[in-house]
Amino acid sequence: MSLNPYMPSLATIIETFDETPDIKTFRVVLNDEAAMRAFRFEPGQVAQLSVFGTGESTFVICSPPTRMDYLQFSVMRVGELTHRLHTLREGDPIGLRGPLGNHFDHQGMKGKDIIFVGGGLGLAPLRTLLLYMLDNRADYGAITLIYGGRTPEHLCFKGELAEWAARGDMRVELTVDNPDKLWSHRTGVVPAVLTDLGVSPQNAVAVTCGPPIMIRFTIQALAKLGFTDEQIVTTLERRMKCGVGLCGRCNIGGKFVCVDGPVFTQAQLKELPQEF
Amino acid sequence: MAENDRMAELRAAVLQELPRLDFVLGYARGFDPLHATPITVRNEKDAGRLIFDPTCVQNLATSLYALRGKRIGLVVKGCDSRSVVELMQEKLVDRENLVIFGLPCDGVLDLAKVRTVVDIARVRGAEFTGGEVRLLLPEGEKVLPRRDVLADKCLRCRYPNPLVADHMIGEKIEPQGAEDTYADLDGFEKLGMQERFDFWKRQMSRCIRCYACRNACPLCVCKHVCLADSRDPHWLTSEATLQEKWLFQVMHALHLAGRCTECGECQRSCPMGIPILLLKRKMNRELKEVFNYEAGVDPEAVPPLHTFQMEEDKIKDRGQLW
Amino acid sequence: MVARFLATENLSAQAAAWARDYRLLAPVREGQAVVYRPWANNMHPFLGRPPTASPKEALLPQTENLLSFTYRKDHEDLTRTEVFLAEPVPSEPTVVLGLRPCDARGRKLLDRVFLERGVVDPLYEKRRKNTLFITVACERMENTCFCHWTGGGPTSEEGSDVLLFAVAGGYAAKALTGAGEKLIAALPEAGPAAQEELAAKLATPAEPGPAPDLRQAPQRFLEAFDDMDFWMDESARCLSCGVCTYLCPTCSCFNITDENSGMKGKRLRTWDTCMSAQYTLEGSGHNPRVSRAHRLRNRVGHKFCYHPREFPAPGGEGAQPEFSCTGCGRCIKSCPVSVDIRRIVLDLLEKGERP
């Protein structure tokens, strides 16, 4: 009999802290040490986190495979499962099924300039690829991160943003819609900042994730700057349940976001029936 | 009025109103002569498809709440019009944005009854004349007395003429009776408690939790945000067990108490033929006895469970206030 | 394989014999419905009409346990809680009696999802290996039947272990698999009269009328995808209930939810319907299929476009596509508002013909 694909592995939360008023980061380790050592995944893949008794939801693994002390997930509190997840503390048990889905084509991005464009919690899937690239710095060209949120409070990974800006080998441009008195960076929506900066599509790939509206305008802005559909990469969200292409729920046309995604190029998205 | 004239009048009225409306909801022929299907009429070609005969069983008022904000027209029978009136009583429909085409109705078919006499899957044609239903089958014609195949609700119908209408199309019809004696409930209540429980266990075991009953109900405006689906509070589990299925029906009947107009769509929609209308009729009989109230008859009336009186005639509170 | 004979008067006794070795699901009449019930003595199986629901419950139960969990406090450190997981209990061998060829064909379409798409579902796999179908061939076609539009037919052998043909005095039973042979091994051989009747039935099956050419359906669907007026009109009557999906032999979408009692609980798989408004509702509140038009479009698309493209039929362009539909017609006859999926597919084809 085949393995039960619905059976999660048991894991424990080893660390949890707030990123913003409604986003928490969880660092998780599989209880089976051998399984943890053997866990392999690619940047962009997701996992289903279980709180037994409440349910399961899909989250991107936002730590990179080059840093395997733990698996990191950053979760916004929006519904039943995430509310319950936010009440868990260090030492609490959790279930994990993964890795699921496809991943960023970091092989194909080698030697190119990478433009990360993120908004709010959209930085989470970008983080895994960004850190992977920083850990393999020589393989990639210029790295730029354009990241924004509604207010300074709504930015994720705040400590790391400062670290990344201080590095000499990547460029960080931060922006918020509504600055406070202490804000010293840009003001404005992310797509507008992108346009202002006028990034070049020459030998470049843009990877974007954020609220649907931001993604839409970012893709438009990238197209105006000359990026082709193959040069624009994003991740999709859908209500998911089984995560392995059986329950039928997350389809867009004949593709399943849990198996054929969540990473898609704009070229791939254009081929799908347009139901977003 | 001859049927053709009546349909011509309906189409003319619909076309006359269409310019002011987003669309009109009416009946068209379905996949065979015994089935009608609701259609949206937006133009003359659509209007040409309109029919009205004893196959027009659906209650088109079920769409009304979801369509609020739109200007629409609606074709209603007498029983359907009571649903519209109840929605008006509860301020769930905006009468100004609604044009009602009322069709006095002398009964619709209960296909389950027809099926006991003919194989309905092979009917080629159907004619409804006077007191007869003439069905054309491969082997020839079969004539059935109308009363034998009408829905139970039609045999006791007291409101054959729509209670609200902007256009009344067709001649008024005499009601079947002056009062509902709830004879079907009497029959059921002759059974002992255990027998009644066994009856419902057997019936509900066929339920597939499709929620056709809920979605077909015009007064069930919660539809997809129904408590039955809620995870918080968590009333029902998702298990397909007797307990969950029965609890939903009880919730449904209680939530409809004082609101159900007995259009019967819940029961008719059930693919497994479960007689759930009995539960609502039981509630309605109690409401008639205690509050002397009938839902969906007077647009100004306040449903008794939406208000309270300090002293109720028929509720003995043993004289203890506070 | 020689045909065997099951006398009508012997049907209950034979069913009881099967029920000793298997969980036997047999159809009985209850009011206007024909439902499968686990065999009990004094049951009268009714084989005269297709059962109201498909037999997919035997392969994919409406509610099924995926795993059980128990929380326990760590006695050494009461601030810590541990959770223990358990696999579900396996299913028992089952025989389904009284389904129709359209139902049996549905089994293959469920296999596509649960065995062939990618990850194998072990719960389905086990049930599938353990379930046998004794199918009744159809004498006549109802006005909602369209099995022959989708590559099936009233006497199709696909998916069945035994096929029963009504003959004088009972049924001629034809075994189609080794397991089927074993099931009917105890029956007497069919006599010459029955054999003749059987041969005659096989030679002239019920023929309801020509089937339209649906080979362009996947393409026409994609062409009409963005025509929301078309989909709004087709879906105007839909109640967004689950009748069509739950009665369908090939629909398999499911939900996963946790249900608790105290420190223990289960993770359940239950049937879900793509017609429900909440089906694709995301935590953020965004719903890609917010209207009935979107949802009906997806249902028709899945059955007549996405599935044939995911599982192309051998034979290339000119071949009959494999639709995720066996033409059983339940969605038509049980739909409270008479949505007719045949009409929608034909409308798509007609639309494509008009420039």
DSSP string covering A194-212: HHHHT---TTEEEEEESSH
Could you tell me how many CB contacts below 8 A there are between chain B and chain C? 123
Instruction: Give the CA count within 13 Å in the CB-facing half-sphere of B64.
Output: 32
Dump pLDDT digits (tens) for C197-255: 988 888 887 776 789 999 999 999 999 999 999 999 999 999 999 999 999 999 999 99
Cα→Cα distances B39→A157, B48, B61, B164, Å: 54, 11, 13, 21
- Do residues B39 and C235 touch, judged by C-beta distance below 8 A? no
Q: Give the mean model confidence (pLDDT) for residues A38-67.
A: 96
Dump pLDDT digits (tens) for C52-80: 999 999 999 999 999 999 999 988 888 88
Q: Give the mean model confidence (pLDDT) for residues B169-180.
A: 88
Cβ–Cβ contact C29 with B under 8 A: no
B38 with C257: Cβ contact below 8 A: no
Q: In angstroms, rounded to a whole number, what is the distance separating the alpha carbons of residues B5 and C51?
A: 42
Residue B304's CB is within 10 A of a number of other CB atoms, namely 17
Q: Which chain B residues contact residue C233 at CB under 8 A? A: 39-40
3-state helix, strand, coil in chain A (%, to 5): 25, 30, 45
- Do residues A171 and A197 touch, judged by C-beta distance below 8 A? no
- Confidence check: pLDDT of B194 > 90: yes
Q: Which chain A residues contact residue C270 at CB under 8 A? A: none
- Confidence check: pLDDT of B140 > 70: yes
Tell which of C57, C100, C241 to mutate to test the B interface (max B CBs under 10 Å).
C241
Q: Which chain C residues contact residue A93 at CB under 8 A? A: 81-83
C336 with B268: Cβ contact below 8 A: yes
Nearby residues of B144 by Cβ (< 8 Å), 6 or more positions away: B114, B117, B118, B132, B133, B134, B135
Dump pLDDT digits (tens) for A161-214: 999 999 999 999 999 999 999 999 999 999 999 999 989 999 999 999 999 889
CATH architecture of A113-235: 3-Layer(aba) Sandwich (3.40)
User: In sequence order, what are the beta bridge partners of A18?
Assistant: A24
Nearest to C118 among A249, A259, A276 (CB): A259
A249 with C309: Cβ contact below 8 A: no
**SS3 call for C206:** coil
C118 with A276: Cβ contact below 8 A: no
C222 with A273: Cβ contact below 8 A: yes
Cβ–Cβ contact C242 with B under 8 A: yes
Q: Which of A119-128, B88-97, B309-318, C188-197 has the lowest mean pLDDT?
A: B309-318
Q: Which residue has tokens 């989470």? A: A124
Pairing of strands C254-261, C264-271: antiparallel
Q: In angstroms, rounded to a whole number, what is the distance separating the alpha carbons of residues B181 and C225?
A: 53
Nearest to B240 among C62, C257, C343 (CB): C62
Q: In angstroms, rounded to a whole number, what is the distance separating the alpha carbons of residues C14 and B322?
A: 69
* pLDDT score at C159: 95
Instruction: State the amino acid at position A230 in one-letter form.
Output: E
Share the mean pLDDT of chain B: 93
* Neighbours, chain A (3 or more CB pairs < 8 A): C
Q: Is C85 exposed, middle or buried (0-12, 13-18, 19+ CB in 10 A)?
A: middle
Q: In angstroms, rounded to a whole number, what is the distance separating the alpha carbons of residues B53 and B109?
A: 9
- Confidence check: pLDDT of A1 > 50: no
Dump pLDDT digits (tens) for C85-126: 999 988 899 999 999 999 999 999 999 999 999 899 999 999
Rounded to the nearest 5°, which phi and psi values hold at A126?
Answer: -70, -35
Q: Considering chain C, what percentage of its residues have pLDDT values greater than 90?
A: 84
Nearest CA-CA distance, residue A92 and chain C, Å = 7
C117 with A246: Cβ contact below 8 A: yes
Cβ–Cβ contact A272 with C under 8 A: no
CATH of A9-100, one of 3.40.50.300, 3.30.70.1070, 2.20.25.10, 2.40.30.10: 2.40.30.10
Q: In angstroms, rounded to a whole number, what is the distance separating the alpha carbons of residues C333 and C35?
A: 15
Closest alpha carbon to B52 in B84, B75, B25:
B75
Q: Which chain A residues contact residue C302 at CB under 8 A? A: 248, 251
Dump pLDDT digits (tens) for A222-256: 999 999 999 999 999 899 999 999 999 999 999 99
Nearest CA-CA distance, residue B175 and chain C, Å = 27
Tokens representing A224 are 């105006």
Tell which of B116, B208, B235 to mutate to test the C interface (max C CBs under 10 Å).
B208
* pLDDT score at A271: 94
Q: In angstroms, rounded to a whole number, what is the distance separating the alpha carbons of residues A110 and A92?
A: 39
Would you say the C-alpha torsion A91, A93, A99, A100 has a positive or negative sign? Answer: negative
Q: Which chain C residues contact residue A7 at CB under 8 A? A: 66-67, 85, 87
Nearest CA-CA distance, residue C254 and chain A, Å = 5
Cβ–Cβ contact A212 with C under 8 A: yes
Q: In angstroms, rounded to a whole number, what is the distance separating the alpha carbons of residues B296 and B164?
A: 10
Q: In angstroms, rounded to a whole number, what is the distance separating the alpha carbons of residues A206 and C86?
A: 44
**SS3 call for A169:** coil
Q: In angstroms, rounded to a whole number, what is the distance separating the alpha carbons of residues A157 and A124?
A: 9
Q: Which chain A residues contact residue C118 at CB under 8 A? A: 244-245, 259
Tokens representing C237 are 């009557």
For chain A, the straight-line distance linking the first and the last C-alpha, in angstroms and rounded, comes to 37
Dump pLDDT digits (tens) for B73-94: 999 999 999 999 999 999 999 9
Axis-axis angle for helices C292-301, C228-235 (nearest 10)? 100
B37 with C237: Cβ contact below 8 A: yes
Q: In angstroms, rounded to a whole number, what is the distance separating the alpha carbons of residues C287 and A238?
A: 9
Nearest chain C alpha carbon to B115: C32
* pLDDT score at C80: 85
C336 with B223: Cβ contact below 8 A: no
Q: Which residue has tokens 């027998």? A: B195
* pLDDT score at B22: 95
Nearest CA-CA distance, residue B41 and chain C, Å = 9
A276 with C288: Cβ contact below 8 A: yes
Q: Which chain C residues contact residue A248 at CB under 8 A? A: 113, 252-254, 274, 302
Q: Which chain C residues contact residue A53 at CB under 8 A? A: 69, 71, 258, 260, 265
Q: Which chain A residues contact residue C72 at CB under 8 A? A: none
Q: In angstroms, rounded to a whole number, what is the distance separating the alpha carbons of residues C143 and A66?
A: 63
Nearest chain A alpha carbon to C275: A249
Q: In angstroms, rounded to a whole number, what is the distance separating the alpha carbons of residues A185 and A177?
A: 11
Closest alpha carbon to A23 in A89, A88, A86, A90:
A86
C237 with B58: Cβ contact below 8 A: yes
Q: Which chain C residues contact residue B268 at CB under 8 A? A: 336
B238 with C255: Cβ contact below 8 A: yes
For residue C355, what pLDDT band results from cuts at 50, 70 and 90? low
Nearby residues of C256 by Cβ (< 8 Å), 6 or more positions away: A6, A55, A56, A241, A242, A247, C66, C267, C268, C269
Tell which of B23, B31, B64, B110 to mutate to test the C interface (max C CBs under 10 Å).
B31
Rounded to the nearest 5°, which phi and psi values hold at A231?
Answer: -90, -5
Q: Which residue has tokens 């202002």? A: A196
Nearest to C240 among B35, B36, B215 (CB): B215
Q: Which residue has tokens 């929301």? A: C228
**SS3 call for A95:** strand
Tokens representing B188 are 């059921």
- Do residues A75 and A22 touch, judged by C-beta distance below 8 A? no
Q: In angstroms, rounded to a whole number, what is the distance separating the alpha carbons of residues B13 and B8?
A: 9
For residue A104, what pLDDT band results from cuts at 50, 70 and 90? very high
Q: Cis omega (within 30 of 0) on the bond before A262?
A: yes
Instruction: State the amino acid at position A21 in one-letter form.
Output: P
Q: Any idea where the domains of chain B sit in the sequence?
A: 1-118+152-177, 180-307
Closest alpha carbon to B221 in B262, B261, B247, B255:
B255
CB < 8 Å from B in window 307-336 of C: 332-334, 336
Instruction: State the amino acid at position C188 in one-letter form.
Output: P
Instruction: Give the CA count within 13 Å in the CB-facing half-sphere of A241.
Output: 21
User: In sequence order, what are the beta bridge partners of A148?
Assistant: A119, A175
Nearest CA-CA distance, residue C67 and chain B, Å = 14
- Confidence check: pLDDT of A68 > 60: yes
- Confidence check: pLDDT of A19 > 60: yes
Q: Any idea where the domains of chain C sit in the sequence?
A: 4-62+89-203, 217-353
B273 with C334: Cβ contact below 8 A: no
- What pTM was computed for the model? 0.94
Tell which of A3, A52, A75 to mutate to test the C interface (max C CBs under 10 Å).
A52
Rounded to the nearest 5°, which phi and psi values hold at C6?
Answer: -115, 110
